[in-house]
């Protein structure tokens, strides 16, 4: 299968790319803006077909990088994991416009443009292309909210609604779109946002769940917003 994983330089994305690459039938395009970490990922995967692609979703010209790098390795897309995100933990009154705009740029707007660029290469196989958008429990209506995450949670809520809309638009294109709303995972991003906090969920455990869902979830779900957390919203 041809698989794209964004945000692959660390945390869940890193582990997810390794899991997909363990299957010799897969080609995995691992996307991040950090070239060194992508090269380390490729070395860790040893014989796995991992193709690093340096793409910065905060750059408004990133579509050019997709054409030059991503589509030079694969001609169709079977699975896309939209995992790239940025998070700033800061009180609402202290947030500045540039921080809010960058979070929405990376977490939402770039997803529009990324999918527009890839759409001609999706839905070409015997089974539907499966797009899995990685959101957060913070973006789920009715879930517990945390101070300092207003812009981040709002951007993740937007990604969830985008999922429902795209599933409707793509239903006749052999493309399924689902959204996983993740609870806390002990990633670098979590540790940067919440210094000293601990959670029992590891990046590898969550990556294994996402891999399995990406491979089989399109058989059961389309346009679904699925909480992935032990806690009650």
Which of these, 148, 169, 201, 195, lies nearest to 11 by C-alpha position? 201
Alpha-carbon distance of 216 to 165, in angstroms, equals 21
Which of these, 164, 2, 1, 175, lies nearest to 72 by C-alpha position? 2
User: Exposed (0-12), middle (13-18) or buried (19+): which is 98, by Cβ within 10 Å?
Assistant: exposed
Alpha-carbon distance of 65 to 92, in angstroms, equals 34
121 is catalytic: no
Cβ neighbours around 8 below 10 Å, total: 30
In the set 14, 121, 152, 209, the catalytic residue is: 152
In this structure, what token pair is assigned to residue 12? 């869940």
CA atoms within a 13 Å half-sphere pointing along the CA-CB vector of 98? 0
Alpha-carbon distance of 81 to 207, in angstroms, equals 11
* Cα separations in angstroms, 188 against 133, 185, 191, 200, 230: 19, 9, 5, 14, 20
> Partners of 136 in the beta sheet?
182
Read off φ and ψ for residue 168, nearest 5 degrees. Answer: -70, -45
Active site residues: 152
């Amino acid at each position: 299968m041809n698989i794209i994983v964004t945000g692959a330089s660390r945390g869940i994305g890193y582990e997810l790319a390794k899991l997909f690459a363990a299957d010799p039938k897969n080609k995995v395009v691992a996307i991040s803006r950090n070239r060194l970490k992508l090269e380390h990922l490729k070395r860790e995967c040893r014989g796995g077909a991992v193709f690093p692609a340096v793409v910065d979703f905060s750059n408004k010209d990133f579509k050019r990088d997709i054409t030059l790098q991503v589509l030079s390795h694969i001609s169709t897309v079977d699975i896309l994991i939209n995992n790239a995100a940025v998070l700033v933990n800061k009180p609402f009154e202290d947030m500045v416009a540039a921080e809010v705009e960058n979070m929405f740029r990376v977490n939402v707007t770039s997803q529009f443009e990324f999918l527009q660029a890839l759409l001609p290469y999706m839905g070409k196989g015997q089974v539907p292309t499966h797009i899995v958008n990685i959101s957060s429990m913070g973006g789920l209506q009715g879930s517990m909210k945390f101070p300092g995450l207003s812009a981040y949670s709002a951007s993740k809520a937007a990604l969830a609604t985008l999922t429902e809309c795209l599933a409707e638009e793509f239903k006749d294109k052999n493309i399924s779109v689902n959204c996983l709303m993740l609870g806390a995972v002990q990633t670098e991003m979590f540790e940067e946002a919440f210094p000293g906090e601990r959670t029992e969920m590891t990046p590898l455990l969550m990556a294994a769940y996402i891999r399995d869902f990406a491979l089989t979830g399109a058989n059961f779900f389309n346009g679904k917003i699925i909480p992935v957390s032990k806690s009650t919203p």
